[in-house]
Chains A and B, each alone.
Chain A
């Protein structure tokens, strides 16, 4: 009896601790960031190194970097996941090689990705400090997450579907498109959101690739400052930038929530259109 009470108490304590930290963090950002948040903050250009003015150009840069990263990484990772799960045997040398490389890649610190992106995209491919370089570097960084989640999603689909489709004379690609991918959609979206979350929070990899410049980007070849870099800069390098750092952090969280809910809604609609779930 006492053992049970103790265990229950510990479990509750752990749960409260975890959610407590989350709410503390969130409320801190809300308390300090919310009063400062306004429409003009969202659309105006930063002034005085970000101490005053808004974050209009920075939001644009962030969204562009994220778009480049996801547009590159999502199709690549989906194709790789399909190859791994549908067209190679699980225990084949090729499959094992790709999987273990991905696992190593997933554990590489982001600063290393930043240096790699700087050396490869900025210097070797001569893209310079640009939104394109930053986006592509982020794409490399989120590839392992996207591929492994997509692959696991595909492998979790019932094998019965593959057999039944084959028994009806359907090609493997037809089964893949009409049955397996749609069944795996929730897992694919979850992976995509994980990837977006990781990409949007990234600072180290972007400082070396998309740069520091806080004006409005003219094109993808222009340098642009991401929100996370902006927050880092305001809180570390700019005296008196704390309030704007808080507001920027709040905007970052809201941006993430918006992107996630859009992705989830799109997936739901897609599922509803092609698959009727019970």
Chain B
């Protein structure tokens, strides 16, 4: 038996090392300097049938920043996200009113190319939704749908986005095996990679970490931080500490008069958490309400 034990070359847990990422080093946190609005929401209201879900929401989503939407369940945060990539079109009986402009184009225009819009504004769901396909096909399928057909090109994109989300080293030897066999955190990162492959400008995230264990949640949160600058991120989260850690801007939603959700306060994250203007916000971020 040899006396020398070979040191292991690879770190035990690749998910916790940062080398795999190519999106660049962590950027300094909030606030974004020179905020430039990318999405402008003006007086947005939303009804499901006769029931109002959102009333008179106005806010700007700033380019390259992370905007967190916080507030109790049922106050319309997810509905608000769905308006931004027109997923509301898929809900029967859903009526939207108000103005939403993306890149100074009317986002609610009936003639707008919705499929094109959804490429520009991607969405990540609470529960990871990998398709029942191989890891590679998960990323390739939407790309092929959008007309990319050269295998070399596709391979490039697949490798690139998997590197971006830090999944490449974990899956590079099993790209052809099922995406459903990945762990929850890996699945969510695959979904983010799949969205990034379409080169979106904005990513909407609906509680992307709440279905994950703390370690995976940390990895995904880390990844979201790395998206800052290159992508505009709007994230709904119930985890106030997370919002505080990662967001540049924060919007606080509340259910007004037991009726419809509305935006109570919107501003720089630091201000919302440290010097809220509204007493409801103060009570919510301190944990005494909500």
Contact = CB atoms under 8 A, between A and B. Distances in A.
Interface of A: 89, 158, 160-171, 174, 178-179, 182-183, 274-278
A278 B116 CA distance: 33
A166 B118 contact: yes
B141 A178 contact: yes
Contacts of B123: 167
B274 to A, nearest CB: 34
A121 B176 CA distance: 50
B115 A164 contact: no
B275 interface: no
Contacts of A178: 131, 141
Nearest to B191: A164
A160 B127 contact: yes
Contacts of A161: 129, 131
Nearest to A166: B90
B132 A168 contact: no
Contacts of A277: 132, 178, 180
B87 interface: yes
A157 B87 CA distance: 19
A94 B241 CA distance: 50
B129 A169 contact: no
Contacts of A165: 131, 142
B119 A160 contact: no
A278 B118 CA distance: 30
Interface of B: 85, 87, 90, 92, 114-119, 122-123, 125, 127, 129, 131-134, 141-142, 145-146, 176-181, 191, 194-195, 198
A169 B133 contact: no
B122 A179 contact: no
B145 A164 contact: no
A167 B131 CA distance: 13
Contacts of A162: 90
Interface residues of chain A: helix, strand, loop or mixed (majority): helix
A170 B127 contact: no
Contacts of B85: 167
A18 B150 CA distance: 57
Nearest to A172: B90
B132 A169 contact: no
Contact of A169 (B90, B146, B178, B181): B146
A179 B125 contact: no
B236 to A, nearest CB: 14
Contact of B119 (A169, A179, A274): A169
Interface centre among B145, B179, B198 (most CB of A within 10 A): B145
B270 to A, nearest CB: 31
Contacts of A170: 115, 141-142, 145
A278 B198 contact: no
Nearest to B195: A168
B87 to A, nearest CB: 6
Given A278-B178, A278-B180, 7 more contacts: A164-B125, A166-B87, A168-B142, A169-B118, A276-B177, A276-B179, A276-B180
A276 B181 CA distance: 10
A168 B180 contact: no
Contacts of B142: 165, 168-170
A170 B198 CA distance: 11
5 contacts: A160-B129, A161-B131, A166-B90, A276-B178, A278-B180
Q: Which of B133, B146, B179 is most buried by chain A, counting CB atoms within 10 A of its CB?
A: B133
A276 B145 contact: no
Contacts of B178: 276-278
B215 to A, nearest CB: 22
A108 B87 CA distance: 43
Contact of B90 (A160, A163, A171, A182): A163
Given A276-B133, A277-B132, A168 B87 contact: no
Contacts of A163: 87, 90, 125, 129
B125 A160 contact: yes
B244 to A, nearest CB: 27
A149 B178 CA distance: 27
A168 B116 contact: no
Contacts of B134: 276
A168 B198 contact: yes
Contacts of A168: 118-119, 122, 142, 145, 194-195, 198
A169 B198 CA distance: 9
Nearest to A174: B145
B141 to A, nearest CB: 6
Given A164-B125, A167-B118, A171-B145, A179 B177 contact: no
